[in-house]
Structure 1
Amino acid sequence: MPHLPPDLPGDLTVLGLETSCDETAASVVRLKASGAVEVLSSVVGSQIAAHAPYGGVVPEIAARAHVESIDGIAAEAMRAAGVSYGDLSGVAATAGPGLVGGVMVGLAFGKAVALARGLPLVAVNHLEGHAVSARLAADIPYPFLLLLVSGGHCQLLAVEGVGQCRRLGSTIDDAAGEAFDKIAKTLGLPYPGGPALEKLAATGDPAGYTLPRALLGRDGYDFSFSGLKTAAARLAEGVTTETERANLAAAVQAAIARQLSERTEKAMDAYARAREGQPLRFVVAGGVAANGAVRAALTRIATERGFSFDAPPLAYCTDNAAMIALAGAERLARGMTDRLDAPARPRWPLDAEAAAANPTHLAGRKGAKA
C-alpha cells in the first residue's frame, strides 16, 4: 500500500472529478498515512437516457450535460462524505484522455475549486485512474500486471508504481468495449450495448457461430477487434430468430474473452520470467472487467500461472471519480501536483515513450482514446 513521505501530513482527503465521457462523477477519498484507502462518497450522474436515442455517446450532448450537472454532483459528493471544502487536502480532476469537451468541464471545475480554496490541483490521466481502481477496495501493492479494457481502451501495462506504467501491448484498431457496444447495436440491443449483449449471451450457445480469431501467430501482446466486429455485423444481417441472436451474442462474448485471455496469457509468461521469484499480481480494470465471461477467463489463466487476481468492485469498473481521487491522492502524497494551466487532452498515453516509439494510431485516424 502507498505510504506518505514523512514531511507531509498524515491523511490526505481529496475531491475527485471525472467527466471524460458520459458520466458526470465526483467523489471524496481519504488516503491514510497507513496506506489504507477510504471512499467517503462516490456520486455518478448517468447520461444514458440522453444518449440512448442515438445508440451511442454524442460528444456535444455529453459536454452540455456535464456543464449542467457538475456543480450539483460535486456538492452531493461533499455532502455525502460529510466534509467541507476546508477539510480537503487537494482536488483531482481527469485531464484526459477522453471527449475533450467533457474533459474541459471537469478540469475547469477542479481548477476553480483549487484556486478559490488555495488547494493543490492534480490533473489525472483517466487511464491511471483505472489502473488504481482495484486499490480502492483491496490491498494490492505495486508492481502488478494490468489489463485495462473498456469502451475506449484496451492495453496491457506493467504498473511499477505511481505514474510508472510501461505499455506492453495495445489495441491496433478497436477497443474490446467498443466491439461489444457496436455488435450489440447490430443485433438491435438497447444502449448501453455491452451489458445488454452479456444478458442475451447467457441464454445462447457460443458454438452456434464461428468467428475469426485475430493476430494468431503474431508476436507481442497487441489486440485487434475490428475483424470480429465486421464478421459479427455480417452474420447479424442473417439472424431471424431469438435463438440465433442469443447464439451470436454468446459467440461474440466468447471470442472477445478468448482474445483477451490469449494475449494476456502471453504477457503473463513474459512478465513472470522477468520477475522470477517475486510475487506475481494481475489486475483487470475498466468497464469490460465487469463482464462475467471475461472475468472467468482471466481468473482461470491467472490461477494457472500463479498470479493473484484482482478486479475493482463493479461500481468502480466503469467510469467513476473515486479512482480519480485515489490517483490524485497518491500523486499528492509524493508532491506531484499541477499548475492551474494544465491542459485538457483528448489523447494522453500512460507510457509516452512507447507511444512515441511505436504509435498504435497515426494522427487523424479514428481509434482508441489512448
Structure 2
Amino acid sequence: MNILAVESSCDETSVAIVKDGKEVLSHIVLSQIDIHKVFGGVVPEIASRNHVIHMTRVFDQAIKDSKLSIDEIDLVAVTQGPGLIGSLLVGINAATAFAFANGKKIIGVNHLIGHIYAANIEHTIEFPAIALLVSGGHTELLYLKDHMDFKMLGTTLDDAVGEAYDKVARTLGLDYPGGPIIDKLSLLGKDTYNLPRAYLEKDSLNFSFSGLKSSVINIVHNANQKNEEIRVNDMCASFQASVLDVLVDKTKLACQKLDVKQVIIAGGVAANKGLRARIKEEIKDKEILIPDMKYCTDNAAMIGAAAYYQYQKQGAHPNYLLGGLSTIAFETMEIK
C-alpha cells in the first residue's frame, strides 16, 4: 500500500510517500525555523500562511521523488491534530482536495501517534512497549499494548519539555530553537546550579517543568540585579541534568511497574544527544528504539507509517470528511 502523507501541524510543511508503513519512497520537509527565529518562537499566523505558499510545491516534489504515478497511490493520510489550528487546516484542506480530485481514500492521523511510529520506520515495534513522547508541545509516557491500542501513563501538568528548553534558552539570550543549543552547551559545562527536580507525588508518572523554568528565570534575574555573571554553559548543563533525571527516572519507574519488551523515545526532543545517551546507559534490560534524527522532528513520513496500521484497524473516512479537527484522546491507565 502506497500512502501519500501530509504533515502541517506546526511550522514544517511536509509531504511523504510511504510503502506498507515502512519504506519511505519520498520525504520532503520544508522548515520555517529561519522565519520564526527572529520572533523567538513559532508565530501561528505566519506559519499557516507559509504552509499555503509552499504546500503545492512540496506535494509536487514528493510525488516526483517517489517515481510513482498518482494512480499508484492507494491512500491519503494527513495530520488531523493536535497542533496549530490554522496550520492543520492548510494540510487537511490540501490532502482532502488531492484525495477528492483523484478519487483516493483519506485518513486522519493523530500527530502524537505519528511520532511513535517514526520509530517503526527503521526498527520494528514489539508489543507491549512503553513510549516516552517528548516534544515542544508534549511530554507523555504511554503504554503500547498493540497497534493503535495505547493508554496514557503520565503527562505534563504544565509546560512541555521542549517548550521549557526554548524558554530557558531565551532567558539565557540563546537562539531559537533552544533545545539543540542547550544540549550542545551542556557538554561544555557542569551541573553547578543545583536546580530542582520535580518528581511530584510518590510514584507519579506525571511531569512538571514550570517550576524548573521559573527557577532558571529567577536565578538569571537575580544575577542581573546584582550585576553578576551567569555561567551559561554551567546553567545549560544544570538545566539539562534536571530535565534528564526526571525523564529517565520516570521512564525507569514505568518499566519497573509494567512488563514490556521495548522503550521508545519519540518526538523532537528525542534528538537530544544527552537524552539518547542516558536512556541507553540506564535502561539496559529493555530494547531501546529511537527514530533516526530526520524522523524525530515533525515530518510526513511518520504520518504515513502510522496511517498504514491505523487503516488496517479502522479503515478510511467516508466522503472525504475527516470530522473537523477531532483527534484521538488517550485513555489514562492507572498502575500501582
User: Per the shorter chain, which TM-score range?
Assistant: over 0.9
Specify whether residues 132 and 246 from structure 1 end up closer, same or farther in structure 2 by C-alpha distance, changes over 3 A only: same
Counterparts of 2:295 and 2:301, CA distance in 1: 8
Q: String of CA shifts for 1:126-182, please: whole Å, max 9, x gaps.
A: 011011110011122233110101000000001122221100000011111111111
User: Paired residue for 2:193?
Assistant: 209
Q: Which runs of 5+ in 2 are unaligned?
A: none
Residue 69 of structure 1 aligns to which amino acid in structure 2?
Answer: H
User: Paired residue for 1:20?
Assistant: 9
Counterparts of 1:64 and 1:100, CA distance in 2: 12
8 Å CA contact retained: 2:197, 2:243: no
Counterpart pick for 1:354 among 326, 329, 332? 332
Aligned-pair CA distance for 1:97: 0.3
Counterparts of 1:288 and 1:344, CA distance in 2: 29
RMSD of aligned Cα (Å): 1.9
8 Å CA contact retained: 2:7, 2:79: yes
Q: Give the alignment's TM-score, normalised by structure 1.
A: 0.85
Counterparts of 1:151 and 1:129, CA distance in 2: 15
User: What's the % identity of the aligned pairs?
Assistant: 39
Q: In the alignment, is residue 342 of structure 1 matched against residue 306 of structure 2?
A: no
Counterparts of 2:328 and 2:137, CA distance in 1: 12
Specify whether residues 177 and 246 from structure 1 end up closer, same or farther in structure 2 by C-alpha distance, changes over 3 A only: same
Residue 155 of structure 1 aligns to which amino acid in structure 2?
Answer: E
User: Paired residue for 2:63?
Assistant: 78
Aligned-pair CA distance for 1:335: 5.0
User: Paired residue for 1:47?
Assistant: 32
8 Å CA contact retained: 2:111, 2:303: yes
Counterpart pick for 2:123 among 138, 149, 152? 138
Paired residues, number: 330
User: Paired residue for 1:219?
Assistant: 203
Aligned-pair CA distance for 1:348: 3.6
Q: In the alignment, is residue 99 of structure 1 matched against residue 84 of structure 2?
A: yes
8 Å CA contact retained: 2:127, 2:261: no
Pairs within 5 Å for 1:266-285? 266-272=253-259, 280-285=261-266
8 Å CA contact retained: 1:16, 1:92: yes
8 Å CA contact retained: 2:220, 2:230: no
8 Å CA contact retained: 2:141, 2:152: yes
Q: Which has the larger displacement, 139-148 or 284-293?
A: 139-148
Specify whether residues 242 and 284 from structure 1 end up closer, same or farther in structure 2 by C-alpha distance, changes over 3 A only: farther
Counterparts of 1:153 and 1:181, CA distance in 2: 13
Counterparts of 1:344 and 1:63, CA distance in 2: 17
8 Å CA contact retained: 1:151, 1:177: yes
User: Paired residue for 1:309?
Assistant: 288
Q: In the alignment, is residue 179 of structure 1 matched against residue 157 of structure 2?
A: no
Q: Which has the larger displacement, 79-88 or 58-67?
A: 79-88
Counterpart pick for 2:276 among 261, 276, 295? 295
Pairs within 5 Å for 1:95-244? 95-206=80-191, 208-237=192-221, 238=223, 244=231
Q: Which has the larger displacement, 135-144 or 117-126?
A: 135-144
Q: Give the alignment's TM-score, normalised by structure 2.
A: 0.93
8 Å CA contact retained: 2:200, 2:206: no
User: Paired residue for 1:319?
Assistant: 298
User: Paired residue for 1:8?
Assistant: none
Counterparts of 1:159 and 1:344, CA distance in 2: 26
Q: String of CA shifts for 1:185-224, please: whole Å, max 9, x gaps.
A: 1011111111111122121112x21101113543320000
Specify whether residues 13 and 233 from structure 1 end up closer, same or farther in structure 2 by C-alpha distance, changes over 3 A only: same
Aligned-pair CA distance for 1:290: 0.6
Name the SS of the counterpart of 1:224 in structure 2: coil
Aligned-pair CA distance for 1:242: 8.1
Specify whether residues 125 and 148 from structure 1 end up closer, same or farther in structure 2 by C-alpha distance, changes over 3 A only: same
Aligned-pair CA distance for 1:311: 0.3
Counterparts of 1:341 and 1:348, CA distance in 2: 14
Aligned-pair CA distance for 1:294: 1.0
Specify whether residues 344 and 57 from structure 1 end up closer, same or farther in structure 2 by C-alpha distance, changes over 3 A only: farther
Q: Which has the larger displacement, 244-253 or 194-203?
A: 194-203
